[in-house]
Chain A
Amino acid sequence: MKEYNKLIFEISKEGRKAYTLPKCDVPECTKEDLIPEELLRKTTLDLPQVSEVDVIRHYTQLSNKNYGVDSGFYPLGSCTMKYNPKINEDMASNPHFTGIHPYQPEKTVQGALELMYNLEIKLAEIVGMDGFTLQPAAGAHGELTGLMIIKAYHESRGDNKRKKIIVPDSAHGTNPASAAVAGFDIVEIKSDESGLVDLENLKAVLGDDIAGFMLTNPNTLGLFDTKISDIAKLVHDTGGLLYYDGANTNAIMGITRPGDMGFDIVHLNLHKTFSTPHGGGGPGSGPVGVKKDLISYLPVPIIEKVESEYVLNYDKPQSIGKIKSFYGSFGVIVRAYTYILTMGAEGLKKASEVAVLNANYVKEKLKLYYLSSDTVCKHECVLGGLREHAEGISTLDVAKRVIDYGYHPPTIYFPLIVDNAIMIEPTETESVETLDSFIEAMINIAKEALENPELLKNAPHDTPIRRTDDVKAARYPVLKWSK
């Protein structure tokens, strides 16, 4: 196919248009009649002028330069790129969901409120929490909300010296960043040799200045921390709260629950575990669940059921307040609800089981070629780069060569505590045939690294563009088009 390399501005032509509007049927007047001249725009508005055909062709051409889950295998570790069921899209595009205004009287949006209320109950059961808010717009927003709850909880008890949050060195970058935004200082603790929490290191920092500990379990290495009950006890005994980063929930549904492990607060990523699409970067949704004692701190409004009516309750004096406009990513919430209805308890458990099986299968089949640990992993495996050192070949080169084989590369160089990390999360929605082809590709790449390293260094070969000059992009930023 012919290569397309135009910006929408470059196909613009004076006089073309792609829209139609009804005639304005109220009495004629000009903007100058209604608004003082000094409040009007003087500068020109540089938006494209194109026909509808132009718009469709342009963005269709752009879409062809993208790779999504529907294009093929997308084992991007930590992101749970599972298949996005089409029924979810259909349900979410129902005009009786998309066409409702957030400030309509409650009696005219009972279906929307009921759906949200029901989803909160299901999520609470899945992770073993007592109350939920669906408001946070993404995982990091959920973290921020959870951290605000931690702060509000301590302060309400007059415990004002707890100004620090502990995060392990294996944590997602959002954990320390969210803690900083919420006004905490961050204490990072070193993990033990296998990447799990080092109890001694934890004990050394626990004290009456610690507000909480943020943890992922299974952690970012895909390993379940079996000492979790001891960790919870240590944190609670010194007055801290335990926060669960739910990015890895796809490993444990129906098998074990953060609430039972001793966590006090959980955020979930509906766009990971609950199959809602990632949208090229968003929108996501990051609901937060809490144990009983923390319910009163959840952001307002709270959805409540009063007799048979659903209402939004803003009268919560201990609440951290409002954290976003309106009530959450409702469109995403509808998709996640649809998914849970489809899967049911049995399906969610099966999803976690097969996600874990698929990850272990990939890890075992690659262990002769890539460094990995011998322990059983959970829903993702972290490899430590090529087993046999190939001169001048980096993990980045391996990842770029994966593209040539028709797959999206795994996450690389994360977690930070594993050198040359390659983090593979196959998810349960991939067949053994797909996994076998991917494994074969990864093994070929390991061989190519030794026999024909140029193939890796110059990869990818057949993509719309090849490797980019990122230094130039950052040093001389061009952030918009100009004539």
Chain B
Amino acid sequence: MFPYIPNTDLDQKKMLEDIGLNNIGDLFKDIPLNLKLNRRLNINEPMSELEVTKELKNLSGKNLNSEDLVCFLGAGAYDHYIPSVVKHITSRSEFYTAYTPYQPEISQGTLQAIFEYQTMIASLTGMEVSNASMYDGATACAEAAMLSMGNTKRKNIIVSKTVHPDTRKVLGTYIKFHGGVLIEVDSKDGETDVEMLSSLVDNNTAAVIVQNPNFFGIVENLAEVEKITHSNKSLFIMSVDPISLGILKTPGEIGADIAVGEAQSLGNTMNFGGPYLGFMTCSTKLMRKMPGRIVGQTEDVDGKRAFVLTLQAREQHIRRQKATSNICSDQSLNALAAAVYMSVMGKEGIKEVAEQCMRKSHYAYNQLIKSGKCKVIFNKPFFKEFVVETIATSDKVNDGLLQAGILSGYSLEKDYPELKNSILFCVTEKRNKEEIDKLVKLVEVIE
């Protein structure tokens, strides 16, 4: 007997008799003999809960986590504080054991939570409309690019090299297969090279994609980029860090048509890269072109406020190959975590987190530069991440820090060969002065 299979052998026998069959084999008679697997699957034997726990403990024990190591690594996945409340809500099985809320009468919990999530994400980004979620920041960006190709009937997507390298790689894959062309704009002093951008944008450009703060942590002034993009009737797509929007100018204020991003920072653990939470927001004008699920408010037959999945004529189960996207399952539970996180933090909390990140990262930056072991690379305003060039090789710095229990930043050379020994450090609100001072002290002595 298996704990998740309640029907006993006797139950099964009776059920078979009831439906006029002799044995389980009769249920599979239609499968041709030569296709039957006439052997046992070559995987493990069933294991007890105690054995499974031990096995998983053995595996997890081979990892070092953000409690073993003080984390100064970011680059798209962030070690932010997660209030205890979040996991208590997302652990409620009424939420996590349900599926897509196709039956609104018994899914108001999920539907209302997503409606609240959409409202909060729209407010955070300053955009008009949010969908219910996408797989992650990179695929949300790729979906936005495809949306722009469909909407403008143009093929070129222009992306700044200051956008996360992995996002650009995912964009490259999607756009190539989708029949578009991805064109990269160089970075200049850590920012998008606006002159080069200007020379590339034309009436074949479906969209221009930038990231803010960009991959180097720099807050770019995007006024000019917005103007160039819109004067060519291309769509302006921004990828943003939701935490930064507690203090930074929003995509809505900057004039983005579509804002996307990775919202793992909003209450989701780092989890070795997933599941994460992509978000997508846009203008009302593009609302019916948006991929993914959207929750809307309506009424029931008694006139009571109710929430439903809406604008479904965009979706694959209705429109099949003419759908705006193939996405079906999304990241609903991660969106719930984000909604709970934003409720807990509220408007003051998000601002305070953003300010702490900014102040602490600037302190770390200044101390590292002062140490004489790190050089300024870009002298630009930044948010919670910054780049320095180390005197010692970045490998030595990273190894030395790791031995002392510090998870160093992201080495940029593999993605930007011109940035030798340059490390992208991240300082979130979780770090304190003592940890930052320790980092600086260690960097000082690594030769």
Are B300 and A467 closer than 8 Å at their CB atoms? yes
In residues 15-38 of chain B, which contact A (Cβ within 8 Å)?
15-16, 18-21, 24, 26-32, 34-37
- The answer on a CB contact under 8 Å between B332 and A281 is yes
In contact, B273 and A342 (Cβ under 8 angstroms): no
Identity of the chain B residue whose Cβ is nearest the Cβ of A356 in the assembled complex: B27
B93 within 8 A of A: yes
A345–B40 touching, CB < 8 Å:
yes
A-B pairs with beta carbons under 8 Å apart, 18 shown = A5-B304, A5-B305, A9-B116, A26-B359, A26-B360, A47-B347, A60-B89, A62-B112, A70-B94, A101-B66, A138-B329, A229-B32, A282-B331, A330-B275, A349-B41, A357-B15, A467-B300, A480-B122
B328 within 8 A of A: yes
User: B283 CB to closest chain A CB, in angstroms?
Assistant: 12
Q: A280-B100, A324-B135, A324-B139 are in contact. List 19 more A-B contacts (CB 8 A).
A: A24-B429, A34-B362, A62-B112, A79-B99, A94-B60, A277-B333, A278-B97, A278-B98, A280-B95, A283-B135, A283-B329, A321-B173, A325-B273, A330-B272, A351-B2, A351-B4, A357-B15, A361-B18, A474-B296
**B42 interface hit (Cβ, 8 Å):** yes
Binds A, one of B70-78, B193-201, B225-233, B371-379: B70-78
A125 to B270, CA, bound (A): 30
Q: How far, in whole Å, are A474 and B137 apart by their CA atoms in the complex?
A: 27
Q: Which residue of chain A lies nearest to B30 when distances are taken between CB atoms in the complex?
A: A224
User: Taking the complex as formed, is A204 at the interface, i.e. its CB lies under 8 A from any CB of chain B?
Assistant: no
Question: Does B350 touch A at the CB level, under 8 Å?
Answer: yes
Contact (Cβ within 8 A) A408 B6? no
A207 at interface (Cβ–Cβ under 8 A)?
A: no
A255 adjacent to B37 (CB under 8 Å): yes
Nearest B residue (CB) for A399: B103
B166 within 8 A of A: yes
Name, among B52, B66, B115, B326, the residue most crowded by chain A CB atoms within 10 Å (CB to CB).
Answer: B326
Contact for B113 among A34, A62, A226, CB less than 8 A = A62
Q: Which single member of A22, A35, A186 contacts B381 (CB below 8 Å)? A: A35
Across the interface, do B19 and A361 meet the contact criterion of CB distance under 8 Å? yes
Give Cα distance in the complex from A422 to B232, angstroms: 50
Interface string of B304-330 (1 = CB under 8 A from A): 111010111101111111110111111
Chain A hits for B313, CB < 8 A: 474
With A21-B349, A181-B326 as known contacts, state yes or no: A111 contacts B26, CB within 8 Å.
no
Q: A140-B316, A364-B19 given as contacts; is B170 within 8 A of A323 (CB)? A: yes
> Does A122 sit at the interface, judged by CB under 8 A?
yes
Report A-chain residues with C-beta under 8 Å of the C-beta of B381: 34-36, 39
Chain A residue at smallest Cβ distance from B332:
A281
Stretch binding the partner chain, chosen from A49-57, A233-241, A383-391: A49-57
Shortest beta-carbon distance from A74 to chain B in Å: 8
User: In the complex the two chains form, is A261's CB within 8 Å of B35's CB?
Assistant: yes
The 8 A CB mask of A169-190 against B (1 = contact, 0 = none) is 0000110111111110010000
Does B416 belong to the interface (CB within 8 Å)?
Answer: no
Closest chain B residue, CB of each to CB of A152: B177
Q: Mark contacts of A331-364 with chain B using CB atoms, 8 A cut-off: 1 yes-contact digit, 0 otherwise.
A: 1101001101111111111110110111011001
Cα A85 to Cα B199 in complex, Å, equals 57
Residues of B within 8 A of A261 (CB): 35
Tell me the complex Cα distance, A340–B407, Å: 33
- Contact of A114 with B by CB under 8 A: yes
Contact partner of A177 (CB less than 8 A), chosen from B3, B325, B351, B436, is: B325
Bound: A177/B328 CA distance, A:
10
A470 and B101 alpha carbons, distance in the complex (Å)? 13
Known contacts A280-B99, A282-B332, A364-B19: A460-B4 contact under CB 8 Å: no
Q: Could you tell me if A470 and B298 are in contact, using CB atoms closer than 8 angstroms?
A: yes
The answer to whether B135 and A141 touch across the interface, beta carbons within 8 angstroms, is: yes
Q: Which residue of B lies closest to A3 (CB)?
A: B304
A413, chain B: closest CB distance, angstroms: 10
Listed stretches A143-151, A287-295, A441-449; interface member: A143-151
Rounded to whole angstroms, the CA-CA distance of A182 and B59 in the bound complex is: 37
CB distance from A418 to the nearest CB of B (A): 15
Whether B340 pairs with A55 at a CB distance below 8 angstroms is yes
A327 contacts partner chain B, Cβ-Cβ < 8 Å: yes
Contacts of B301 in A (CB 8 A): 466-469
CB-nearest residue of chain B relative to A5?
B305
Asked if residues B304 and A83 are in contact (CB atoms below 8 Å), the reply is no
Is there a chain B Cβ closer than 8 Å to A320's Cβ? yes
Q: For the complex, is B224 an interface residue (Cβ under 8 Å from A)?
A: no
A376–B319 alpha-carbon span in the complex (Å): 31
Q: Is B144 an interface residue (CB 8 A)?
A: no
CB-CB contacts of A255-285 with B at 8 A, as 1s and 0s?
Answer: 1110011000000010100010111111111
Bound together, the chains give a CA A327 to CA B299 distance in angstroms of 42
Closest to A47 in B: B347
> Which of B79, B310, B346 touches A477 (beta carbons < 8 Å)?
B310
Whole-angstrom distance between the Cβ of B329 and the nearest chain A Cβ: 4
B residues less than 8 Å from A332 (CB atoms): 274-275
Closest to A44 in B: B347
Contact: A325 with B103, CB < 8 Å? no
Closest chain B residue, CB of each to CB of A53? B85
Contacts of B429 in A (CB 8 A): 21-22, 24
In the complex, what's the smallest C-beta–C-beta distance from B93 to chain A, in angstroms? 4
Are A138 and B46 in touch, CB under 8 angstroms? Answer: no
Asked if A329 is at the interface (CB within 8 A of a chain B CB), the reply is yes
Question: Which A residue sits closest to B120, measured CB to CB?
Answer: A47
Whether A221 is near chain B, meaning CB under 8 Å from some CB there, is no
Question: Least Cβ distance of B410 to chain A in Å?
Answer: 6
Residue of B nearest to A353 (CB): B24
Which of A29, A62, A67, A376 contacts B26 (CB under 8 A)? Answer: A376
Decide if A66 is an interface residue (CB 8 Å cutoff).
yes
**Cβ of B100 to closest chain A Cβ, rounded Å:** 4
- Counting CB contacts under 8 A, is A17 at the interface? yes
Residues of B within 8 A of A414 (CB): 317
0 or 1 for each of A372-393: is its CB under 8 Å from B? (1 = yes): 0001100000000000000000
A108 — which chain B residues lie within 8 A by C-beta?
Answer: 63-64, 69, 402, 407
- Tell whether, in the assembled complex, residue A64 and residue B109 are in contact, meaning their CB atoms are under 8 Å apart: yes
**CA of A472 to CA of B62 in the docked complex: distance in angstroms?**
54
Report the minimal beta-carbon distance from A375 to chain B, rounded to whole angstroms. 7
Query: A66 contacts B273, CB within 8 Å?
Result: no
- Chain A residue numbers with a CB within 8 Å of B99 are 74, 76, 79, 81, 278, 280-281
- Chain A contacts for B95, CB-based, 8 A: 63, 66, 68, 279-280
B85–A271 contact, CB under 8 A?
no
- Taking a contact as CB atoms under 8 Å apart, the answer to whether A25 and B45 are in contact is no
- Interface pair B49/A87, CB less than 8 Å apart: yes
Residues of A near B441 (CB, < 8 A) are none
Q: In the complex, which residues of chain A have a beta carbon less than 8 angstroms from the beta carbon of B302? A: 465-466
